[in-house]
Amino acid sequence: MHLLERQSRETGRDYALRTVKENIITLELAPGSQISENELAAEMGLSRTPVREALIELARVKIIEIYPQKKSVVSLIDCDLVEEARFMRSVLECAVVELDCQLATPASLEPLRQNVLLQNFYLDSYYPETVRELDNQFHGILFDIARKPEVFAQIQNISIHFERVRSIALSTVKNNKIVEDHQAILDAISQKDIPQARALMAGHLDRYEIDTDAIREKYPQYFK
């Protein structure tokens, strides 16, 4: 497992959660692989308690499955769940960009502009993690402008199914399409063009859906 640096004031539980989550998304902890509270605890230099608390949280969104007294495994990729996550995001994000068109001001759009600039900057540098982080930030800012930060937080829980698939796709799929999408969405919001913004967002999130089949070809053992 790839260990992250533990941040100051970060509780053991938060550290464990962040680490395990990251390793699941990057497939370092592969779909279907067994995980042990004891092993993880030892690797991260923690006791079982904080690790266990983190795993419970991950089990709640079905990204890991806990079989009591038997074992815990990283869930296989479940296309139904990925579709549910996509549906949830798509529906909510489209509603949010509509709010953004109504609520955005030049000032509140500035962080968004900065973000897209950074995305363009890192596009050719090949830092996949940074690109993914900026992508997440972009969407998070949209929820902030719409004053729905907690909705975004809740979406992110189930979105891990989505992100795991996406992290595979990012290596093979051109990121420039994604950044172009973001730029176009930003422009539509600036012009307060609600139908256009909604359509662009819907198309943007659809991009990831298409990739699923290709990934399944490549890694069939990762799928349910």
Partner DNA sequence: ATTATAATACTTGTATACTAGAATGCAATA
Partner DNA sequence: TATTGCATTCTAGTATACAAGTATTATAAT
Work out how close the CB of 50 gets to DNA at its nearest, in angstroms, rounded to a whole number.
4
Between CA 21 and CA 28 the distance in angstroms is: 10
**Cβ proximity to DNA, 68 vs 220, nearer residue:** 68
Between CA 72 and CA 44 the distance in angstroms is: 18
What secondary structure letter does DSSP report for 172?
A: H
Structure tokens at 152: 């975004």
Structure tokens at 162: 């989505």
78 to 84, 147, 205: CA distances (angstroms): 10, 31, 18
Question: Which of 2, 3, 11, 113 is close enough to bind DNA by CB under 7 A?
Answer: 11
Residue type, 97: V
Please choose which of DNA, its own copies, none residue 48 contacts, taking the beta carbon within 5 to 8 angstroms, the exact cut-off set by kind: DNA
Please choose which of DNA, its own copies, none residue 46 contacts, taking the beta carbon within 5 to 8 angstroms, the exact cut-off set by kind: DNA
Tell me: does residue 30 bind DNA (CB under 7 A): no
Residue 88 CB burial class (10 angstroms; 0-12, 13-18, ≥19): middle
Which span (50-58, 74-82, 88-96, 120-128) binds DNA, by CB under 7 A? 50-58
Please choose which of its own copies, DNA, none residue 164 contacts, taking the beta carbon within 5 to 8 angstroms, the exact cut-off set by kind: none
**Cβ proximity to DNA, 41 vs 189, nearer residue:** 41
**Cβ proximity to its own copies, 93 vs 119, nearer residue:** 93
* Contact code string over 58-97 relative to DNA, x by CB under 7 A: --------xxxxxxx-------------------------
Phi-psi region of 36 (alpha: psi -120 to 50; beta: other; left: phi over 0): beta
Give the E-state strand segments of 62-186 in sequence order.
Answer: 64-67, 71-74
**Interface residues toward DNA, by CB under 7 A:** 11-13, 35-39, 46-50, 52-53, 56, 66-72
